[in-house]
Amino acid sequence: MTTPESSSPSPSLLTLGHPVLRQVAQPVTALDGSVQQLIDQLLTTVRTANGVGIAAPQLGHSLRILVIASRPNLRYPHAPLMEPTVLINPRLVSASDELELGWEGCLSVPGVRGQVPRHQTVEVEYCDRHGQAYRQIWQGFVARIFQHEVDHLDGKVFLDRVQSEADLLTEDAYQAMEIANLG
């Protein structure tokens, strides 16, 4: 029998309105089999959904785990390519004073894009799925992904950071704007 917490090959993404998306996620205390299964689900889901990042709360698990998986795809054709990176108990060490406005979408907020101010550069600490500690500096789009996904761990979505309703577009309008900008 399958329960919401059991492993399944393609778990459902939670969408805005589900209470787990507004909870502050709990730290991971053990890298046991259930955590490893969740990481595998996150990696599979972000790839199949054409995302560039995903956090455990989006799959219904209030744990401080996220994946950054920047790569060009249908939703983000200009994303830089990087290996998917699993971050367990990520922590923002420092952030640049420089903010950059950029368009964001979210797998848990389908059909909407918004312009969100984010720090241009972030320095972060985290552990990988094997418990190895890392400290890294990310800039630009990858820094944006990190900040977006950490928001999920803190019970926030990108809509909470949009400064004005004028900074919101439907996904279709955003895609049309992107096509117009290429022409």
In the chain, where the domains are located: 19-182
Q: What is the pLDDT of residues 120-169, one digit of tens each?
A: 999 999 999 999 999 999 999 999 999 999 999 999 999 999 999 999 99
The domain made up of 19-182 is a member of CATH 3.90.45.10: yes
Q: How far is CA 183 from CA 97, 114, 176, in A?
A: 34, 22, 11
Enumerate the known binding-site residues: 106, 148, 152
Query: Annotated catalytic sites, by residue?
Result: 149
Measured between alpha carbons, how far is 100 from 116 in angstroms, rounded to an integer? 8
What does the pLDDT read at residue 122? 98
How remote is the C-alpha of 3 from its chain's centroid? 24
Q: What is the pLDDT of residues 11-37, one digit of tens each?
A: 689 999 999 999 999 999 999 999 999
Side by side, the strands of the sheet bearing 168-170 are 99-106, 109-119, 168-170
What does the pLDDT read at residue 183? 65
